[in-house]
Amino acid sequence: MKDNNCIFCKIAQGEVPSVVIYEDDKFKVILDMGPAAKGHALILPKEHAKNIYELSEETTAEAFVLAKKMAEKMTKALSCDGFNIVQNNEPAAGQTVFHFHIHLIPRFEGDDAKVGWNTHEITKEEMEAIAEQIKG
Ligand code: 5GP
Ligand code: ZN
How many A from CA of 103 to the centre of ligand 1?
A: 9
Instruction: Please give the pLDDT value at position 1.
Output: 57
**Mean pLDDT of the residues in the chain:** 97
Handedness of CA 112, 118, 124, 128 (dihedral sign): negative
Pocket test for ligand 1, best of 96, 100, 103 (most atoms within 8 A of CB): 96
Catalytic residues: 101
Instruction: Please give the pLDDT value at position 10.
Output: 97
Instruction: Give the model confidence (pLDDT) of 17-40 as tens digits.
Output: 999 999 999 999 999 999 999 999
* DSSP, res 91: G
Instruction: Please give the pLDDT value at position 3.
Output: 76
Q: Whose CA is nearest to atom 13 of ligand 1?
A: 32
Which H or E element spans position 29?
A: strand 27-31
- Classify residue 63 as exposed, middle or buried by CB count within 10 Å of its CB (0-12, 13-18, 19+): buried
pTM, two decimals, is 0.97
Instruction: Please give the pLDDT value at position 4.
Output: 82
C-alpha 117/C-alpha 136 separation (Å) is: 26
C-alpha 78/C-alpha 59 separation (Å) is: 27
Pairing assessment for the beta strands 41-45 and 20-23 based on DSSP bridges: unpaired
Low-confidence stretches of the chain (pLDDT beneath 50):
none
